[in-house]
Structure formats: C-alpha cells, structure tokens
Structure 1
Amino acid sequence: MEHADVVVVGGGPAGAACAAAVRRARPDADVLVLDRTDFPRDKVCGDGIAPEALDVLAGLGIDVAALTAGFPAVPRLRLQSPAGTTVERALHRPSLVVPRAVLDGRLLEQVLATGVRFRRHTVRRVTVHPTHVEVDGAVRAGVLVGADGAESVVRRALGVAPNPPDRLAIAIRGYAPVLPGTDGVQVVTTTDQRWPAYAWSFPLGDGRANVGYGELVSGGVTRTELVAGLHRMLPGVQPEGLRAHRLPLSTGRPRLPGGRVLLAGDAQSLINPLTGEGIFYAVLSGALAGTAAGSGRRAGEVHRQLLRRRLGGHLRASSVTSQLSRWPVLMDAAVRAAQADQGVFDDVVALGLADGRLTARTLAATVRGLR
C-alpha cells in the first residue's frame, strides 16, 4: 500500500492551500493531492477574490502576482437593497475576478512546484484506523484532509450529515458581456421577490462578466426559476454556459470529530451565508488544516481550535446577521447606512466577503436607518 504523510482529497483552493501549508511547516513532508479531474478545470463560482484571500495565499509563499496576472483589480462595489436603495463606493482594498478555470490551475501548479504530488483519482472509500487512514484500500495517510467540495465523499465517510435545505443555497452562473456602467464594478443586488435571493455581476476586465443568481434550496427553486431570477435582477444580461451548484452555508456547518480526518472549505460548509463567498474561507480553512495536520491523531482537535481562534467571532457575527437579514427592511436600512458612511460600507463588505464583525457603528447606523 502506498504511503503519504498527508493526503488531500481535492485540488481546488482549499486543498491547494492545505498542501502548501503542510510543506511550509514541514518541507520534508510527503503530501499527495487526489482529485477526480485534471487541472485546469472549471467550477461554478462567482470568481471574485477578496484581498484577504490573497493575503492568506501570500503567507503560504504563493506568488499572488503570477496567480492573478492578466486580470485587473476591481476597485468598486455596488450594493442594491431589496427596496432598490443603491450604494456604490470604492473598496478599502480592490478585489479581483479570476475565472476558476484559470485560478485553480495556476494555484495548484505553484503548490506542486514545492514537491507536492498529484494524482487523478476518484475517492470512494475512507477507512479510519487508530494509527492511519486508508483511501480505497490503496493509499495510507497519517492525516487525511477532505477538501472535496459541497458533495464531499470524505464528509460522508465521516458520517457527517449534509446541510438542511434552509442552510443550503443553490446558484446558477454563466458569463456574459459586461452590462453598461458596470465595468470595474462588482455588483451585488437583492430583491424581496423570493427573498432571500441575490444576483451578481463581476467583471473580468476583458469585456466579460461572471453573472449569477442564487437563493435557498428550501424555497423549492427550479432551474427555470433560477434563470428567470437572473434575467429579472440583471435586465439585459445575455449569459452563456449557465451551470448550477449547491452552496452549503456556514450557518449549517457541523461540529467535526477529532482525529486524523479533517474537512476544509465547502466540504466543511464554509460558505458565507450573506454573499455566497467561499474562496476566502476555503484558503484559510485549508491553510489551518495543513498546519493542524502535523498533530497526527490530534489533528482534528487542533484544527477546530485554530478555526475557532481565527474565525469564531466572524462566523457568529455572520450567522446572526444572516438571521436578521430575513427581514428585508433591515437590509434596506443597512444599505442606506452604507450609503451615508464609508466606514459602515467597509464593515458590511468585510462581513460579507472576508472575516469582518458586526460592529457597534454598523448596528447603530442601521437602527438609525430604520427611523
């Protein structure tokens, strides 16, 4: 049976960040990444990358400039509330929009250059032993990290239940010509029709934009209704290559068992419930899993501690805000507050796209906006 110190299932941003973190902590570690497809490959996603995600990757030794080359920074963000109030401001730090067919391949290529191994393999069975973990009876690992997405095989092998429908979103995404007036602007728009629902348009800098629409699975939405929602909320959009994907929200994340098997990214239900953002959570949770992997049989416990220390406060804030956002009037008030105050705008962006908190300033401004 083949042996590796750490086996990572999934070569996307969470898995690549995990592998990079293991090698950075232990340059002699044997790390094997397994994925059912070769790279580069596409994934249904908004393609937006918050600067905080790039900070995590830079800390792992990734050449961020090479990772994002050819895709200009997007300096502005436009938010529209359910009632139609709109605020557009400059971001505290610009975001980028890089297609996952490009981003994932470039990231994994850099990680493999550090000595990480890669193999195309569809994982079907995970068996946990006191001293190691076996994958399909063919590979033995000291620690196994499941970074294999929303339909994680590793998660199922652990007996972790999927998110309930009211903690699970579904979104459809395609590419379209940039709508007039939105070049250089990320657009996130909401509506009280089929609430909570939102649409986005993120420009790539080449005349195209990543466009999409999403809502909760519990609403019973169909593909036809997803497409209709996209056209309703982004009038005039002409998308191609529409594909749908489920998003396990962080409000439904499970308490993970300790031991030698970890989860990261979408497999751990780390999707922001306010915006559907997942790349920042993916690379951060992957990097922390890579750090924890050195703890062997205690890796799961250490990973939980690291995540709680780094993201616990933010995840509590995003969960509370997600519950409050069920009332569209509160969303309207928050957008009006962001319209009046750059600081509130920055707080809202950090909460929805990175690791921000629900600050007293934003709460007070939102309450004033209700009057």
Structure 2
Amino acid sequence: MPVEHWDVVVVGAGPAGAAAALAARRARPEARVLVLDRAGFPRDKVCGDGIAPEALDVLGGLGLDPAAVTAGYPAVPRLRLRSPDGTTVERATRRPSHVIPRAVLDARLVAAAREAGAELRRHLVRRITVGPDGVEVDGAVTAGVLIGADGAESVVRRAVGVPRNRPDQLAVALRGYAPVPAGQRDVQVILTTEQRWPAYAWSFPIGDGRANVGYGELTSGGATRAGLLEGLDRLLPGVRAEELKAHRLPLSTGRPRQPDGRVLLAGDAASLINPLTGEGIFYAVLSGALAGAAAGAGAGAGAAYRRALARRLGRHLRHSSAASRLSRWPVLMDAALRAAAVSQRVFDDVVHLGLADGRLTVPTLVGAAGSLRRPAP
C-alpha cells in the first residue's frame, strides 16, 4: 500500500486539534490537512465544559461564528469564588462565559474544520517516526508537520521524548453531571478548601437544569477515586452526580520546551492547563491556532511555534506559575479573594488570570497585601 503524504497531520480532534486544522487551512488554503482521532464524533470528553469568552475570540479569529459555537447554551454571567477560609465573592464577570458539553463543542469544532477543507479519519495512532524530511505515522501516512493535540496521555509527546509532568505538576479531577444546586442557575461556582490543599470543586450550569460538577487535587497528595468522591461530597454536599469520570490535568507549571523541528505539541499534550483553576480550553484553542499557523514553516515549524507561544502566552504563563506558587499558602488565596470582594477591578483581574491570559496586576497585589494587614474577623 502506498504511503500517503499530507502537508499537516493533526493527532487528536479536540479543541486544540480542530483549531490547529482550521488555522493551517486558513494560513495556507492549498494545504492538505489530515486530522486523526481514535474516537468517533460526537463523543464525550471528561472536562469542566466551561468556555471562557477569550476562547470564543480565538475561534472567531479562525472564521467561526461564536454564536453558532454556543447555540443552545445560554451565557453564564456570574462567577462565585470561595477561598480556603470560607471568604466568598460573587460578581458579574466582565464578559459572560458559556458551559457547553464537550460532546457538543468538539463535534461542532470538528465539523467546522471539515467544512474548511480538513479531512477527519478515525484512527488510533501507535507509532511515530521523525525523519529529516517529514514525520511518518504508523507506516501509512507521512506529514510535513505533525501536530500532537492528543491530550494528557499524548502518544506524540512520548514519541519525541518529552516526559510526563512530575506529580506536583499534575492534577487529577473527577467530573459528573447533577441537577443545578439551588441558587446557581446562572452562576459558575469554584470552591477551594484547606483540606488536601491545593484542591477545589466546581459547579457549572449547562442551561438545561443540569450542572457539570467536579473536584480536583494534585496527584502528589496521593489522590484516589475514593478521596475525590469524598472531596466532591464535602464541597458540594447533597449533589447527586452521575456519569462520574476522572481525568489527568498536566499543569502549565510543568510545560515542556517546544522542540525544534516538524513535531508540535498543543493543548493538554503541551501541559497547557491553568494551574490555578484547571482551565484548559482557552489554552487549547489558542495553542492549536498558533501551531496550525506555524505548520507552514516546515522544518522550522517548531522554532516558529515556540516563538509564537512565547509572544502570546509567555508573560501570562510566568505570572500564572508565580500565582500558583504563592497560592500554596492558603492565607494568600484568602487575601486575594477578600480584595476581590471589595474591588470589581481585582475580581476581574483574578478571573482573567485564572480563566484566560491575564497577569498578576498591581491592584490585585496591593489589594491582597491590604487584606493581609486587615485579616477577616
């Protein structure tokens, strides 16, 4: 059987992979783009399902209509945060988010990539061989550039010798669906706790009477399924969750250096998960879009993509890593949320850092310092 050649092969058809395919076709309309995924679509994916508005901005830049992406799922205009000491702040966010089950979101993005000219095939990738002139996949397909968007257990990442995150840079979360808790129909809720710190729970309303609920913590703490279930029940008591599934979250504090050459890593495969909140869809579509745009550089794609990531996300990732280190002291998290309860500006900055590409700002640092000097009674 002859070996097929494609300009770009994307492994993984989630948000990162679909965005990569869209960007590759947008950058070079003549490019032959193949997307491989082991699953058929629509398919479920373990996730919090929250879509920050900045993720929709990236998709809009790739030619998608954000209203079509979110159709049928109402905006969620408010966010409630609770710190380890119980300080709670709820405000309207600067721009509303959406909560869309991944079975729906991913199918919509895959359909958009196909409409843009990419080809989708169901295939479980097992072997990748990198050569001077291209990348071979399972002896059947070659690519000028290969983009690994195949998640936390990435085959592509292993093939290029990038090790898994250390346990203190890797979280595990349990997710299910439950009736929306009372008073939370139009509010996303993120709750933190000192027990097994750093750990958090969430409840994100979908709009059909259900909420995506879950609980996560670092694997370095010895996380077990029984412990995750106990944490979920402790922080969201009385929630009757179904479809409970667990997944790993490779945090951006352990992100590898993007290698030179023809193999690019995007989304979870590149350890692009926000260490403060576990958010990954914004990072996924942004990194996928940057990878797809860089694919046209051929043998220089890795370096081009690394530079693009540094320009677009480098400063934010340094700030989010610094904030993650600081948050290991619960008292600092308490102080930041007390400052957010006083100031809408601080609240907005905290949300932007945790859900998109924000930074540690002077108002946030000053407000938190002031809260430390004036501890809650």
> Normalising TM by the smaller chain, what interval?
over 0.9
Matched residue type, 1:66: A
Cα distance between partner residues in 2 of 1:257 and 1:72: 40
Shift of 1:79: 0.2
Alignment match of 1:284 (pick from 286, 296, 299): 286
SS at match of 1:273: coil
Task: Please give the per-residue CA displacement for 1:46-99, whole angstroms capped at 9, x wherever unaligned.
Answer: 000000000000000012211111000000000000000000000000000000
Matched residue type, 1:68: T
Task: Please give the per-residue CA displacement for 1:146-188, whole angstroms capped at 9, x wherever unaligned.
Answer: 0000000000000100000000000000000000011100000
SS at match of 1:5: strand
Shift of 1:365: 0.4
Cα distance between partner residues in 2 of 1:115 and 1:257: 28
Query: Identity across aligned pairs (percent)?
Result: 73
Matched residue type, 1:50: A
Alignment match of 1:299 (pick from 284, 298, 301): 301
Alignment match of 1:181 (pick from 177, 180, 183): 183
Shift of 1:107: 0.9
Tell me which residue corresponds to 2:340: 338
Structural mapping, 1:312-331, within 5 Å: 312-331=314-333
Structural mapping, 1:29-178, within 5 Å: 29-178=31-180
Cα distance between partner residues in 2 of 1:5 and 1:261: 12
Shift of 1:313: 0.5
Tell me which residue corresponds to 1:205: 207
Task: Please give the per-residue CA displacement for 1:286-311, whole angstroms capped at 9, x wherever unaligned.
Answer: 00000110000000000000000000
What is the aligned residue count?
371
Task: Please give the per-residue CA displacement for 1:217-268, whole angstroms capped at 9, x wherever unaligned.
Answer: 0000110110110010011111001000000000000112100000000000
Cα distance between partner residues in 1 of 2:32 and 2:224: 44
2:235 is the alignment partner of 1:225: no
Cα distance between partner residues in 2 of 1:104 and 1:115: 17
Shift of 1:115: 1.1
SS at match of 2:112: helix
- RMSD over equivalenced CA pairs, Å: 0.5
Please, what TM-score do these two structures have when normalized by structure 2? 0.98
2:16 is the alignment partner of 1:11: no
Cα distance between partner residues in 1 of 2:305 and 2:187: 36
Structure 2 residues without counterparts, runs of 5 or longer: none
Matched residue type, 1:364: V
Tell me which residue corresponds to 1:25: 27
Cα distance between partner residues in 2 of 1:370 and 1:114: 52
Structural mapping, 1:242-261, within 5 Å: 242-261=244-263
Tell me which residue corresponds to 2:236: 234
Task: Please give the per-residue CA displacement for 1:79-125, whole angstroms capped at 9, x wherever unaligned.
Answer: 00000000000000000000001000011101101111011111011
SS at match of 2:156: helix
SS at match of 1:370: helix
SS at match of 1:161: coil
Matched residue type, 1:120: R
